[in-house]
Amino acid sequence: MPDASIWTALADPHRRAIVALLLERPRPVGEIVEACGLSQPSTSKHLKVLRETGLVRVRQDAQRRVYALDPAPIAELDAWLTPYRALWNRSLDALGRRLDATPDATAQPPPKD
């Protein structure tokens, strides 16, 4: 099971937004601040939590700090969720079969002669 701190870090919507941004590409702090609409100190606090849980890593680029996702914790979450994903897929497949077998309520009745 993944470390509980990862779940706690991802529970915050601002941190999830940061993770989504970093999914696209690594970004300097200034871009993250601008994209999230948070203050610099608030963004830095969120990045610190993500860094401490191992979800992101940081590198210096001259005077800038550039953040990137670390795929290892995400892969750990994915592996843990795999059996649950199979459960949902079975349920959704059953729902799809049920819907396919149900007459379409929006279908027009055949024209009367």
Q: Domain of 27: which CATH number?
A: 1.10.10.10
Please tell me the predicted confidence (pLDDT) of residue 93.
85
Containing structural domain, residue 38: 1-101
> Global pTM?
0.73
- The alpha helices in the chain, defined as continuous H runs, are 4-10, 13-24, 29-36, 40-52, 71-101
User: Region 14-43: what's the mean pLDDT?
Assistant: 95
Please tell me the predicted confidence (pLDDT) of residue 109.
66
Token pair in block for residue 75:
């892969």
Q: Is residue 107 part of a domain?
A: no
Please tell me the predicted confidence (pLDDT) of residue 110.
66
Q: Which of 48-52, 76-80, 89-93 has the lowest mean pLDDT?
A: 89-93
Q: Is residue 106 part of a domain?
A: no
Distance CA 18, CA 48 (A): 12
Please tell me the predicted confidence (pLDDT) of residue 103.
78
Residue 112's SS3 state is coil
Q: Is residue 10 part of a domain?
A: yes
Q: Is residue 112 part of a domain?
A: no
Q: Is residue 45 part of a domain?
A: yes
Number of domains in the chain: 1
